[in-house]
Chain A
């Protein structure tokens, strides 16, 4: 088809050269009527336009249409992708706002719980500290009592020995160990009674 089209101008020229005497006319100036049809202009218009259409259709319009359709498809898919992403983002935003609102609502409760727990913990710590302090006090008091008793005993023992020594020196004789012990016990009992009184 294209070969035929490319041969068309040459076929027209050959035909006109052969047929020229037939078309020859007396009037050699041509028409000045604007609507007058010039055959050569018409023929060349057909040839040029058809050739242009064929060349452009094959080499330009086809690839351009392909490119435009490809671009449209890209834009369409990008738009759909953007819509999907936007919808997902909207959902995320809604979820986030909902969670934020929930969190705002939970904050007073959480703070109340935390305060209660803090109070409870503080009370527990205070109670434990008080109990420990009381225990320590009891233990110190007991140890003090023991130490005091031991010191008193030691004091009375020393006092008895001293009294024995003094009395021995005063009466001029020595008392036996058994005497010392008996005197000491009596003295202690006497002291104890006087202390209780």
Chain B
């Protein structure tokens, strides 16, 4: 009934697809085994799931794009549902936190949100899994966010403005300002790296922990069968009910984490863009971004924030 012998093995990415552990049913996947410290290299289970997630996104949004392109009002549940996701990200995430240039970065935010969401949701399907429960995968996505912030800011305002965006604005004499900036600049620069790194850890940890909990609760069943068979049915019932309840929570977490990843990407990007624009036009010009003030307690955008999420 369980896909792997231990909860950790259930969540880890492998070169084989476990189906029914009790009857040793698993599908070996193509790859070179034994390399990279025993990990091997090939088409892993999560690779196939990522392809499935990408395929689903393309299957939904490529035909929908033709309808939306007409500029007509949306009709039908399908169109309304999937378009509302895009308009939510654009109107409630990108525009408030990136500002007037939001449409330049909206394609990335749409892609990352849908990709993370679909990868998260695949974990709710029996015999599948969440590729976002792999740190390798979330680290790649967070690297993409860091590259977007860096490349996007440099292409928009130039390298000099990007570099100066890490120098906090301070009203103090020059003799004090220079050493302060020299001390704070590396902290701000590394701060962005840390924030992006933590972005990957947050997504990975939430998805990994959720699936670990579900797998652990289900693993109570074979554990009890081997130690105290009289309790098997009662433990089975409790485990199934518990997993069902926690799966509902996981469903919520799947949406929440996708939203958080996208929201924080927009927040970090908007912060760096704003500082870079200030570096170019001076601190008196507040024309860029932040049409609506973000939640003050959520993130210190203006100072780049040293608190990593």
Contacts and interface: CB of A to CB of B under 8 A. Distances in A.
A56 B140 contact: no
A30 B39 contact: yes
Interface stretch (B66-74, B228-236, B292-300): B66-74
Contacts of B14: 30
B110 A48 contact: no
A59 B136 CA distance: 28
B41 interface: yes
B214 interface: no
Contacts of B32: 16-17, 20
A20 B39 CA distance: 12
Interface string B73-99: 100000000010011001000000000
A10 interface: no
Contact of B38 (A17, A30, A63, A65): A30
Nearest to A32: B8
Contacts of A36: 39, 135
B136 A42 contact: yes
Contact of B68 (A32, A51, A64): A64
B107 A39 contact: no
Interface size bucket, A side? 35 or more
Interface size bucket, B side? 35 or more
B47 A40 contact: yes
Interface stretch (A67-75, A92-100, A124-132): A67-75
A91 to B, nearest CB: 30
A53 B44 contact: no
Interface in B42-67: 42-44, 46-47, 50-51, 54, 57-58, 61-62, 64-67
B90 A59 contact: no
B12 interface: yes
B64 A64 contact: yes
A53 B108 contact: yes
A111 interface: no
A40 B69 CA distance: 37
B107 A53 contact: yes
A36 B38 CA distance: 12
Given A46-B140, A65-B106, A56 B73 contact: no
A168 interface: no
Interface stretch (A21-29, A80-88, A137-145, A179-187): A21-29
Contact of B107 (A44, A65, A71): A65
B69 A56 contact: no
A55 interface: yes
Grouping DSSP codes into helix (H, G, I), strand (E, B) and loop, the B interface class, with mixed when no group exceeds half, is: helix
Contacts of A20: 32, 35, 41
A148 interface: no
Given A30-B14, A60-B64, A52 B69 contact: no
Interface string B203-215: 0100010000000
B37 interface: yes
B168 interface: no
Contacts of B6: 32
B165 to A, nearest CB: 25
Contacts of B287: none
A38 B131 CA distance: 12
A49 B141 contact: yes
Given A42-B139, A45-B140, A68-B68, A31 B39 contact: yes
A25 B37 contact: yes
A67 B71 contact: yes
Given A20-B41, A39-B39, A49-B115, A34 B12 contact: yes
Interface in A139-182: none
27 contacts: A16-B32, A27-B38, A32-B6, A34-B8, A34-B12, A34-B208, A35-B135, A36-B39, A37-B139, A41-B44, A41-B47, A41-B136, A49-B144, A52-B111, A59-B65, A60-B62, A60-B65, A61-B106, A63-B65, A63-B66, A63-B68, A65-B103, A67-B65, A67-B69, A68-B87, A70-B70, A71-B71
Interface of B: 6, 8-9, 11-15, 31-44, 46-47, 50-51, 54, 57-58, 61-62, 64-73, 83, 86-87, 90, 103, 106-108, 110-111, 115, 131, 134-137, 139-141, 144, 204, 208
Interface of A: 16-17, 20, 23-32, 34-42, 44-46, 48-49, 51-53, 55-57, 59-71, 74
The 6 closest A-B pairs by CB, nearest first: A70-B71, A63-B69, A23-B35, A67-B68, A61-B107, A41-B136
